[in-house]
Structure formats: C-alpha cells, structure tokens
Structure 1
Amino acid sequence: MDKTEFFYWCIWWGWWIIQFVLYTLLGALMCDGFYQIIVSLRGFWNQKKMPPAKRYRRFAVLVPAHNEEAVLSPLLDSLAGQNYPKNCYKVYVSCDNCTDGTAALARSKGAVALERFDDEHNGKTWNVRWALTQIPLDDYDALTMFDADNLAERNFLMAMNNYMELHPDAEAIQGVLDVKNPDDNWLTRSYAMAYWFTNRFWQLARGLWGLSCTLGGTGLVIRMATLERIGWNLQSLTEDLEMSTRLILSGSRVHWNDAAVIYDEKPQDMRVSVRQRTRWMQGHYWVFWHYGRPALKSFFTTGRLQYLDLFLYLLAPAKACLGIVIMIAGMAFTLVNNMVLYPSADVPHTAVDWVLFFGLPVVSIIAFCLLCAIAGPSFHERKFTLRYVKYTLSYFWFGLTWIPILFRAAFLAKDQGKWVKTEHTRGISLDEVKK
C-alpha cells in the first residue's frame, strides 16, 4: 500500500468511525428521550388526597434574605395567615449583610430577625448554614424554607403536616413552585409555562413512580433528623440540587406534595434572567462533576432506578449541549457525505440522515413547546385551555436563550464562590396573585 492509498484508507475508515460515533450518541440520546417520555406520562395522573393529620408538627420557617424590604412583607403576611396553629411554627428571617430595613420589617411582622454580617462568605448557601446554627432546631420537627420574594398558600403548612403523617418515611418534601407574576411580560410567562409543565410532568410524575423529585430551593420541608444526619455543609451555587443529590445517595429520596403551593417571583429583564440561569447551570455542572459518578456507581451496585434517574438529571445540561453538537455535526456530515464524497447517493438514504439529524430534533422541540403551552396550563388551571398556545413562539425563543447559557456555564462551573443576588421588586399580596 503506497502513501496515497494509505491516505484514502485512513479517510475512509475515519469517516465511518465518525458516522458510527454520531449514530451511537444519537441513539443514546433517543433512548434517554424515550425514558423521559415514559416517566413523564405519569404526570397525567393525580396525587391522592390526604386525610387530615392527627397531630400538629412544629415547623421552623426559615427565610434567607438580603435587602428584601421591597418584597418581604407579603410573604410574612401569607405566613402569618397560615391555616395552622400559631404555636406550632415560628418564622425566622436570616438577614444576610442587609443594609435596608429588612430586619426591622421582619420584627414588625412578628418574625425573629437573625442578622449576619460576613463580607467574605455571602450568598444563600452560607446564610442558611449560619442561620441553622442560630435556630433552636431541637424545638422543632422539621424545617421549611421560603425565599423572601415568595408567597405561601394558606394551607401550605397544613398540607405538609398531612403529608408527613401519611408518609412517615418522607425525609424531604418539595411543594409546588408556582409563579406570582406570570403576566408581567413574555419572559415571566415563559418561566410560568416551564414551571407548570415541570411541576406536573417532572416532579409529580417522579413522585407517583416512587422516584426522587428534586428540591427547588424554596417551598420545601426537611425533617430535623435528616438535617442532623446529612448536615448543610453545601458548597455549590445550587444548594437545593446538591442537598437533593446527597439525600438520594444516602438511600432516601425527595417527595412531592401537590397540595402545598407557593408562588415565586420571576425576572422581567433578560439580563437578570440570564445571570440567574447561568448561576443555576454553574451549580448544576458542579454537582454533576462531584456526584455524577457516585450516582452511576450506586445504580450498578444496587440496580435501583432512582440512582440512574438522578445521574440522567445531573447529566441534563451536558446532554442538551451534546444534542446541539450532534445536530450540527449530523447536518454537516449529511452535506459532506452526499454532496462531496458520494454525490450519487440515493435519495432515501439522504432523507433518513436529514430526518435523524435535523428533522427529528426540530419536530421534537416544536412538539415539546406545544405540550408545554397546552398540558401545563390546562393542569394548572384545572381545565382544558388553549389560551397559551399563542405564546408558543415566545416560549420557543425562551428555550433558545438557554443554548449559550448551557455552553458558557460549563466553563464557569469551577467557580462556585461568586453569588449574585437576583433583584426582586414585585411586592404583591396573595390576594392579588389569586385574582
């Protein structure tokens, strides 16, 4: 074999290797997609109604805050108005380096204001860690946590208490995360559509399958015994995901309570949104790099689907990036293969390549956006509605804005120390949200 023949031989084999790798990765992503669809189908079922509990558990209600005077009052009002014995819960507002009237406002509303001043270790993770050293945890059965911009449904604590009685093995419970300002603009509406879909077809579906849900950072309950067992020495920018992962790897799981609802404020400005979502993805990548391997190892060791499900979720940002790369590479492969190397290739073979690498992803994305625009809002409003179909295009655009975030966050994930607060301005009451 001369040099020319060897050169063409290398090209030929290299091209077939590239093709094999592309189709293998595409097949793996398709298998994952089918798995996610099967799991999400359980979201069409409802969670069983819970009987009233026979006893009232004591809750320590923690609200981490940093200069939240503008939005804190409605949350404290919603907590004061809980349909739950007032002597069975206490609200603690942990004021982290506050320079406004957050602490004074908390005290005026009957909450305990914990004031912390530490310029070196700032952010929610450090604030919560410190606050837990200031609260008499032994006096309570469980910790529940809210962000300062939230609103809590009147029956939130009662619903959590009922769930804890019905499920004594539940160490951590996540409530429904709704949006308190969905109609501010297209961006908050897109957030709302995403949350309505996720609540039903990700969180509730997994809860009904007996898989683990994930903590959302707010609207959650953790038993004090669990906090003592696992601790709160978290290191990532997404302390909720890291806590969920530690809990799952310890052999437990996060439960989902569809009857406990809170409302969360979403950014109205794209720059704020990008900064917030970049922080989420930074933390997500970090948690995957530190806990992905133990999750996969636990699956192969025990055979429990819960660990594989966790691994696939931690892998989600990387899967999204890989899917985009495969789509672009597949399109390039098809063009080169059928226009340069084999211009006489038959049309059916060409069509299959285009369908697999371009048509299938595009159709899947469009179908997913339509599902989010119909199924999520319909279950949220408890009746079939097409009101949000007209927002499918803006929701699709919202999805596209995730692409640069996913790629950029992968390079920033090593840095988990820089926490940037998301500004909150929508100080609206629970009555205004429910109009």
Structure 2
Amino acid sequence: MKNWHPPSKQNVLILSVFYAITIAAFYLAATSINSQNENLAIARTFICILLLPILSKYILQLIALPFYTLKEKLQHKSNQKTNQSTLSVSVIIPAYNEEVGIIKTLKSVLNTGYKKLEVIIVNDGSTDNTHQLVTNFISEIKENEYDNTRIKYLQLNNGGKARALNKALKLASNDIIMTIDGDCLMDKNAISNTVKRFNCDKVGAVAGNVIVGNKSKAIEVIQQLEYLCGFFLRRADSVFNSVFIIGGAAAAYRRNVLLEVGDFCTDIVTEDIEMSTRILAAGYNTRYAANAVTYTEGPSTWRSLCAQRLRWKFGRFQTFIKFQNLFFSKHKQHNKYLTWLLLPIAVYAEFILLIEVVVLAVFFSYTFICNDYVPLVMLITLMATLIMLQVFFDSKKHFHKNLLLIAPIAWLLFLVVDVVEFQALFRSLKRLYKKENLQWQKWVRIGL
C-alpha cells in the first residue's frame, strides 16, 4: 500500500485557502485591538457553559490517556503468566458485492500467520463476481500454504449483514470471534494484538484500530484525520473498560459471551454498535487495541459519505432507544463511566450539533465585532498540537505523517465533517419522527 500520493490541484487549492484563513486568524490576533461588547460577551459566556459538559468529557479522556499505556504494560505481564496465546480465533468476513477487494481482504487475514485460525467467508447474495473469485481462490490454495487455517465458505441469499454474521456464528467454533469487512486489509499483527486484550473472562469484546487506507482525495484525508482522532480517544474509554462503539471492520468478541447475549440484531442498521452496547449492558468489559490495525476504504464521494454517516447516526439512535435504561443507570453491573458520562454526553453532543449554526454564529460574531481572535487562535493551536501528538503516538505514525501538514488547518476540516454529520442528524431525526426504517447503503469500491 502506497504511503504517499502527489497532491492534486484541487487539494493544493483547498490547502492554500485554508492555510490563508488560518494565517489571517493568527495575524489578526497579533495586531487587532479588542473592543468589548457586553451583550456578545454574555452570549459567549453562555456558549461556553453550553459546551462545558462536552469539554469536561474531553478533559477527563485526555487525563486518562497516559493510563492506557500503563494498563497495557500490566496486561502484558499478566499475559506472560497465562496461556493467552492458546486462544483460538475465528475470523468472519461478510461480503456483498465485494469483488474489488475480497481476495485482498482474505489474503491479509491468512497472512497474519496466527496459529489457531479459522476463516469464514459469508457471501450475502452478491450479484457481482464475488462468488467466483472466492471459490477459485479456495480451490487454488496449496494444501500446505495455510496448514494451520480452516477456510469455510457460506453462500446465502441476500438478507443483510447481521443475518450473514449470525449464519457464520453457527459455523464458528473457536474461542474468539473476529469480524472484518470485505473491503478491509488486516495488519500482520492485528489478530495476535487483539487476542492479548482478552486476558480475563470479564472482557467480552475488543475494538481494533481502524485506519482509512485511501488518502489521495481531500474527502479521504478528512476521514483519515477523523478516524485518527476518534480512535485515539478510545484509549481513554478502554481505561474505564467501556468502549461502546466497536465497529464491525475490526471487532472481536469472546464466543461464550456472544452465546450468552444472543445473535446480532437484524432490526438495527448498526448491528455492531448494538452488539457492543448489549455486551456492556450484560456487565462485561470492552477494550481497545491501538496496535491491532485494520485498514478500511473510506467513501470517495460526498454522496457516499453522507449516506454512510446517515446509517451510522440512525443506527446509533436506534441503539440509544433500545438501551435507554442504561442512561444514568444505578445497576451494579453497569459501568458508571458509560452510563453517567459516555451515553448522556453522546446524546447531548447531538443536541449541540443541532444548534451548532447558532453557536458558531455567536462565537464568530463576538470574534469579528470585538476583534478578539485570541480564543480562536488558542483553539487552533490546541487542536493542531493534539493531532501532532496523536500522529506521534499512533502505532502507524509513518502512515499518518501526511496529517502533520494539515494539523494547523484541522479546525476548518472538522467544520466540513460537522456539515456531513448535521445532514445525517437531520435526516435521522426525520426518519425517527416518521417511523421510517433505513436500508443498508452500498457505494462503489475502488479498492485498497
């Protein structure tokens, strides 16, 4: 996989404009004379109070981040005293029209070389060449090439990803069940580094580190940046044993826990988030493996990205409604970090997103009218510094080095993300109000 692409003229133009805006902000902060406006100052104070719950959550997560490394070291010592390496793994690959990347995905799983491995490919009624590619690949494998790996292939009529996963679960026989999407590539150490986190029976699921592998377009780089920041904070959630979003692109579950809590839900479009939340509701811990990397292909068009985020947003709301009893739960088996912080703040953040236009209008009105650019510059500096630190501490920092260039303008890029998230929020609320469901969206893959 190539690590660098020459920037297109469009990307150069976007970079130039965003850098010009950022430099202008610093220049105005250094040269402008502040003029106070009492009404706007009050409004700004109100906005700060409004954002305080979200800021408090981020501060707590940042404080918890160093403890992730400490906890990892302690778990490593614990693993050395146990037979953790003896855990067997079943990797499930659900596929629907994945002819572009399914063989690369399958090879990446097999090339991990994990000793006790079983691979189950589920063809969910593909209408392209997926079936022929998979069957040819299996028949052409040399008998001794993957002598420790059992490969099973299941062909179904199209019934959705959750149903495909459930069918595969009935074939899986190993201790740990991992899932990976048919457009992803698994890093060589992804399985072994994931298994290490199952160092006690209380751990029900583990989330891997998903990286956007395509980064030649501006829309793809924005997703790369977004994934980096989002997954980095999961280290803090892992410290509190409460990672409630475990995406199917890199998810791992203890098989006995899945047998206890039941099959993947077919009524919720984000069956992976529903499952991880259900495992937490059952009293199990969930963790994050920062060095268990899977590369995914992010949408390369704005239309596809908007459709993807609609599904994520709508499915998350479905999950919140289903598990509403978790919010502020006092039950002993429920994680208080999850029930009193993560879940309530997740819903509150959607409310803030809904009124973000007003929030930004007040903030920038105060900035321009009062010539007070210092808060904006502080925000830009803090965000750029955090992104650089995230790149430095990521297990694939060489792959992310392109993000160092855009760190100073990340504040503008995240505004673009917010526009995409807002449309998803609006359309999700509209569907919930009208009691409309949502079908799985599919976009054209280019391949990693």
The two structures share one fold, judged by TM-score above 0.5:
yes
Partner of 2:165: 128
Partner of 2:105: 75
| Structure 1 residue 258 corresponds to structure 2 residue 290 | yes
TM-score, structure 1 normalization: 0.76
Match of 2:261 among 230, 234, 239: 230
TM-score, structure 2 normalization: 0.74
Structure 2: give runs of 5+ residues left out of the alignment: 1-41, 139-150
Alpha-carbon shift at residue 83 of structure 1 (Å):
2.8
Query: 1:347-406: per-residue Cα shift (whole Å, max 9, x none)?
Result: xxx97xx99xx997x678746753564233333354896333365366234324222222
Alpha-carbon shift at residue 230 of structure 1 (Å):
0.8
Partner of 1:107: 135
| Structure 1 residue 169 corresponds to structure 2 residue 209 | no
Alpha-carbon shift at residue 71 of structure 1 (Å):
0.7
Partner of 1:39: 61
Partner of 2:118: 90
Partner of 1:339: none
SS at match of 1:62: strand
Structure 1 Cα separation of the partners of residues 43 and 264 of structure 2: 40
Match of 2:246 among 204, 215, 218: 215
Structure 1 Cα separation of the partners of residues 51 and 353 of structure 2: 11
Query: 1:149-204: per-residue Cα shift (whole Å, max 9, x none)?
Result: 1111111222223332x3332111111111211x221111111111111121x211
Structure 1: give runs of 5+ residues left out of the alignment: 1-19, 336-349, 429-435
SS at match of 1:423: coil
Structure 2 Cα separation of the partners of residues 416 and 21 of structure 1: 39
Structure 2 Cα separation of the partners of residues 303 and 66 of structure 1: 36
Q: 1:78 to 1:180 in 2, by over 3 A?
A: same
Match of 1:321 among 331, 347, 353: 353
Partner of 2:274: 242
Residue type matched to 2:311 in 1? R
Whose Rg is larger?
Answer: 1
Alpha-carbon shift at residue 330 of structure 1 (Å):
6.1
Alpha-carbon shift at residue 22 of structure 1 (Å):
11
Q: Which moved more, 1:233-242 or 1:65-74?
A: 233-242
What are the residue-to-residue correspondences of 1:134-213 with 2, within 5 Å?
135=171, 137=172, 139-164=173-198, 166-181=199-214, 183-200=215-232, 202-213=233-244
Alpha-carbon shift at residue 21 of structure 1 (Å):
13
Query: 1:188-231: per-residue Cα shift (whole Å, max 9, x none)?
Result: 1111111111121x211111244335201221111111111111
Q: 1:113 to 1:187 in 2, by over 3 A?
A: same
CA contact (8 A) 2:209 2:290 kept: yes
Size of the aligned set, in residue pairs, is: 377
SS at match of 1:401: helix
Alpha-carbon shift at residue 98 of structure 1 (Å):
1.0
Residue type matched to 2:405 in 1? R
Identity %: 20
Alpha-carbon shift at residue 264 of structure 1 (Å):
0.7
Residue type matched to 2:276 in 1? S
Q: CA RMSD in A?
A: 3.4
Query: 1:265-311: per-residue Cα shift (whole Å, max 9, x none)?
Result: 111111111111111111112222222x3112414777823322342
Residue type matched to 1:311 in 2? L
